[in-house]
Amino acid sequence: MTKEKGQPQAYGDESYWDNRYSQDVGSFDWYQRYGGLAPLINMYMPKTNNLLMVGCGNAVISEDMVNDGYQTIMNIDISQVVIDAMIEKYKDMPQLQYQRMDVRSLGFKDGEFDSILDKGMFDSLMCGSSAPTSAASMIKEVRRVLKPGGVYMLITYGDPRVRIPHLKSEEAPWEIKLHVLPRPGSKRAHEGTSRPITEPVSLGEDLTLGPTFKLEDPDLHYVYVCIKRGGNAVKRPSGDAKVDIKLCAKSQLISNYEV
Ligand SMILES: C[S@@+](CC[C@H](N)C(=O)[O-])C[C@H]1O[C@@H](n2cnc3c(N)ncnc32)[C@H](O)[C@@H]1O
């Protein structure tokens, strides 16, 4: 997906997605496949969780998660075209449910889900018209349908300076953990890294990530794990208090962030 600044607004439009899915009958996973994300998803989202996948598109990630033991995933997307195709494709996989829904106005009860996964959905809203308003409506809805202690995981190309301000909540703050992983096929991915992706990255108060990461690095994807305060339903990563020395040379770097 292209960056927000100066880019066309099509990714935020329902008609754009309906058109795209009418022409493209295959499947496609934006940014990352389940294999690359599984350590993180498994760490924060127990397989018994009641899960919501927002902006599911025609990605295979939900199927891969069910094959890995996840029990129920509700998938929503604004495009009726893709929802119809996915209902047909997965008619023999009852663990996967699909409904056409706008993430800015979710037809679910308060606190209905333990976990919400978003891979590229928030990013597409950020490419639309009225992006800040859409983002605020989405975050409000996501918080509403999450249980206390539940987790909203956002997988995005957006670095902390362009994402953290939008994740702010008018109600109680989130606890946010940030993980960084290389874009598949990129130079960074080929070089490999000694640090596991399950280790959160420290975030400076100025929303930088220390000397190792350049913000706006096109070879990186960011995973924001936003934990709704007020419950203990979430399994915390065992190493979440550890901070990578290389990434945290400066004392102003902090391991958790609250907005
Ligand atoms: C970049 S694609 C990501 C698809 C999929 N999550 C993946 O990882 O491959 C963004 C998806 O968000 C959907 N979308 C856009 N605006 C939406 C909205 N307001 N509510 C729900 N889905 C929306 C689009 O139809 C599209 O399928």
Q: SS3 for 241?
A: coil
Which of 44, 61, 35 has the alpha carbon at shortest distance from 198?
44
Q: Which amino acid appears at position 114 of this protein? A: D
Measured CA to CA, the distance from residue 96 to residue 71 in angstroms comes to 9
Instruction: Report the C-alpha dihedral over residues 49, 150, 165, 221, rounded to 10 degrees.
Output: -30
Amino acid identity of residue 225, one-letter, is: V
Residue with CA closest to ligand 1 atom 3: 120
- pLDDT score for 237: 44
Angle at 120 between CA 55 and CA 152, to 5 degrees: 75
CATH no. for 10-185+214-238: 3.40.50.150
| Cβ–ligand 1 contact at 77 (below 6 Å) | yes
Q: Is the alpha carbon torsion for 228, 230, 232, 238 positive or negative?
A: positive
Question: Of ligand 1's atoms, which has the minimum distance to the CA of residue 31?
Answer: 8
* Pocket lining: 20 vs ligand 1, CB cutoff 6 Å: no
Exposure class string for 173-193: b at 16+ Cβ within 10 A, else e? ebbbbbbbbbbeeeebeeeee
How far apart CA 253 and CA 235 sit, in angstroms, is: 24
Q: Among 31, 54, 124, which is best to mutate for testing ligand 1, by the most ligand atoms less than 8 A from CB?
A: 124
Q: Going by C-beta distance under 8 Å and a sequence separation of 6 or more, which residues neighbour residue 75?
A: 52, 53, 56, 62, 86, 96, 97, 98, 99
Give backbone dihedrals phi and psi of 54, rounded to 5 degrees, phi first: -95, 140
**pLDDT at residue 246, rounded to an integer:** 26
Q: What sign has the CA pseudo-torsion 247, 248, 253, 254?
A: positive
User: CA-CA distance, 242 to 130, in Å (whole number)?
Assistant: 39
Q: What is the pLDDT along the chain (259 residues), one digit of tens a residue?
A: 654 555 555 887 899 999 999 998 899 999 999 999 999 999 999 999 999 999 999 999 999 999 999 999 999 999 999 999 999 999 999 999 999 999 999 999 999 999 999 999 999 999 888 899 999 999 999 999 999 999 999 999 999 999 999 997 767 679 999 999 988 888 777 776 667 889 999 888 888 887 777 777 788 999 999 999 876 644 544 443 332 222 222 223 445 566 6
Atom 19 in ligand 1: residue holding the nearest Cα: 102
Boundaries of every domain in the chain:
10-185+214-238
Q: Cβ contacts of residue 131 below 8 Å, gap of 6+?
A: 4, 12, 125
Ligand 1 centre to CA of 108 (Å) is 18
Determine the 3-state secondary structure of 151 from DSSP: strand
Interval between CA 27 and ligand 1 midpoint (Å)? 13
> Using an 8 Å Cβ cutoff, are 244 and 199 in contact?
yes
CB atoms within 10 A of CB 243: 17
- Closest residue (by CA) to atom 12 of ligand 1? 55
The backbone torsions φ and ψ at residue 118, rounded to the nearest 5 degrees and listed phi first, read: -135, 110
Structure tokens at 145: 């349908």
- The pLDDT value given to residue 139: 95
N residues, the chain? 259
| Helix boundaries (H) for the chain | 14-23, 34-44, 61-67, 80-89, 121-126, 131-145, 160-167, 187-191
1 CB within 6 A, ligand 1 = yes
Q: How far is the CA of 212 from the centre of ligand 1 (A)?
A: 31
The pLDDT value recorded for residue 9 is: 59
Residue 80: other Cβ atoms inside 10 A: 13
pTM: 0.88
